[in-house]
Amino acid sequence: MAQPLNWQKSSFSGGGPGNECVELAAVNDERLLRESDEPDRILPVTHDALGALLHHLRANRP
């Protein structure tokens, strides 16, 4: 049986009930992203792609 994924919530999440957030899990060299309100919809990304996404989001923060 496969090990359950250890999902981590974004540090920008409120943490309370009803607070949807982005979650991240690591499997070997791959990273997985999902939204907490759609947990079965998982987006696999490489380490480099995740870094580029985070860089873009930080650079374009209001």
* 3-class secondary structure, 43: strand
- What does pTM read for this prediction? 0.71
Closest CA to 45 of 26, 23, 57, 30: 30
In this prediction, residues 6-31 reach a mean pLDDT of 79
Question: Are the beta carbons of 30 and 45 closer than 8 angstroms?
Answer: yes
- Label residue 1 by pLDDT band (50, 70, 90): very low
> With the CA atoms of 49, 36, 58 and 31 taken in that order, what torsion angle do they form, in degrees rounded to the nearest 10?
-20
Query: Which residues share a beta bridge with 31?
Result: 26, 45
